[in-house]
Amino acid sequence: MALELTFAMIKPDAIKAGNMGKILAMIEEHGFTIVRLQLGHMSKEVAEAFYGVHKERPFFGELVEFITSGPVVIMALAKENAIQEWRDLMGATDPLKANPGTVRKAFGTDIGNNAVHGSDAPQTAAQELGMFFPEFFEEPR
């Protein structure tokens, strides 16, 4: 099987709680290669585009406000079956339902403050990687 790329993000709640290094260590311990990593703040415009699929949902404004509330770490991760492997390591969206040993079980506090994000499919990974790392990862045409 060939290496696959996925997009990953450490969210403001995890960074504020001082868990960035612990999450990065978990990523490396699970065999991912961090191809790109960037720490910074997401602008409101970028956040609205990033969460555009949820624009009509009642929680859209909360998502944008939360993700722009502090720094985030955005990453391109490589591994065989990276998309599913990262989703498995992240755990369930609701940390209370996440399995032991997952990032969200260890560092998430609730469904809104769940520490990390990851692409859910190859198309989403290409879109998210292209959005943040266009010099390396462009959407398939």
Tell me: the pLDDT tens digits for 106-120?
999 999 999 999 999
Residue with tokens 């490589």: 78
- Indicate if the pLDDT at residue 92 is higher than 60: yes
Catalytic residues: 117
Within 10 Å of residue 59's Cβ, how many Cβ atoms?
Answer: 12
Domain ranges of the chain: 3-132
The fold of the 3-132 domain, in CATH, is Alpha-Beta Plaits (3.30.70)
How confident is the model at residue 137, as a pLDDT? 58
Per-residue CA distances from 71 to 15, 33, 68, 136, 138 (Å): 7, 22, 7, 22, 24
Report the predicted TM-score, pTM, of the whole model to 2 decimal places.
Answer: 0.93
